[in-house]
């Protein structure tokens, strides 16, 4: 599928699932971020990075395990036909452009389809994109709680089963949340944000002194 078509689908999904939430952040959050950022500030409007999940190696991890790193948090699933691979490929390109500074950042890919995304499946998926990507999965209850914590919407497609999609699809928000080294929420990127804007703001967060 052409990239332009994928980007169009991503944009429609974003507007359908997150438009109202994003608008509220724009109104309330812009004045709180002092850095010359290009993305949408969420400082003071989201909770700190906190969770209890299982990573793609089978290890139990929490938000505190990523303190000292700038985190890009993204919700998706391995059977996603377009939005997730496109987003992860974009983030991989950004990590490559960061060069050595990429070691100061981590991509956390949270599965919204825990029934199919066990650690082994997540491991094969995230390692195909970037060595700094961490796949996270957990129980349905833990997944729902984490999604609710960061106001992320997802739902199983009620339409007919699609064998090529593993039996069904999951509709989900496609936002990328950026947290600083102290685990504080700082920025949110819409799926259609230019990669140079994400790269610019990621460099700003990496360059900050750890709190």
Find the CATH number of the domain harbouring 8: 3.40.30.10
Query: Are 190 and 22 in contact, with CB atoms under 8 Å apart?
Result: yes
- The encoded tokens of residue 4 equal 């332009």
For residues 41-50, average pLDDT: 94
Query: Are 197 and 38 in contact, with CB atoms under 8 Å apart?
Result: yes
For residues 95-110, average pLDDT: 97
Query: Are 63 and 48 in contact, with CB atoms under 8 Å apart?
Result: yes
* Helix extents (H) in the chain: 3-29, 83-98, 119-127, 140-149, 195-207
Share the mean pLDDT of the chain: 85
Helices (H) and strands (E) in the chain, counts: 5, 10
For residues 17-28, average pLDDT: 44
Query: Are 55 and 138 in contact, with CB atoms under 8 Å apart?
Result: no
Q: How many domains does the chain have?
A: 1
Give pLDDT tens digits for 148-177: 999 998 988 766 555 555 678 899 989 999
For residues 57-85, average pLDDT: 96
- The encoded tokens of residue 188 equal 């949110």
Domain hosting residue 116, numbered range: 3-158+165-207
Give the residue carrying structure tokens 């395990």: 65
3-state SS assignment for residue 101: helix
Query: pTM of the prediction?
Result: 0.82
The confidence score (pLDDT) of residue 192 equals: 84
Rounded Cα gap, residues 49 and 37, in angstroms? 20
Rounded Cα gap, residues 75 and 71, in angstroms? 13
Q: Across-strand partners of 188? A: 40, 177
- Binned at pLDDT 50, 70 and 90, residue 10 comes out as very low
Query: Are 132 and 103 in contact, with CB atoms under 8 Å apart?
Result: yes
pLDDT greater than 80 at residue 32: no
The confidence score (pLDDT) of residue 160 equals: 57
pLDDT greater than 80 at residue 145: yes
- The encoded tokens of residue 152 equal 């992320």
């Amino acid at each position: 599928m052409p990239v332009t078509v994928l980007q169009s689908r991503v944009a429609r999904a974003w507007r359908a699932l997150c438009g109202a939430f994003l608008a509220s952040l724009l109104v309330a959050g812009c004045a709180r971020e002092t850095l010359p950022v290009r993305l949408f500030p969420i400082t003071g409007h989201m909770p700190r990075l906190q969770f209890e999940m299982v990573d793609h190696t089978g290890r139990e991890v929490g938000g505190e395990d990523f303190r000292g790193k700038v985190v890009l948090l993204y919700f998706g699933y391995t059977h996603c036909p377009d939005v997730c691979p496109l987003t992860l490929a974009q983030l991989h390109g950004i990590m490559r452009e960061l060069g050595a500074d990429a070691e100061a950042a981590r991509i956390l890919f949270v599965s919204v389809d825990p029934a199919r995304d066990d650690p082994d499946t997540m491991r094969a998926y995230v390692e195909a994109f970037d060595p700094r990507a961490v796949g996270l999965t957990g129980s349905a209850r833990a997944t729902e709680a984490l999604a609710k914590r960061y106001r992320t919407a997802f739902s199983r497609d009620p339409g007919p089963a699609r064998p090529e999609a593993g039996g069904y699809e999951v509709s989900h928000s496609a936002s990328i949340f950026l947290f600083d080294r102290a685990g504080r929420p700082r920025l949110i990127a819409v799926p259609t944000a230019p990669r140079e804007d994400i790269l610019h703001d990621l460099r700003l967060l990496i360059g900050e002194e750890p709190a």
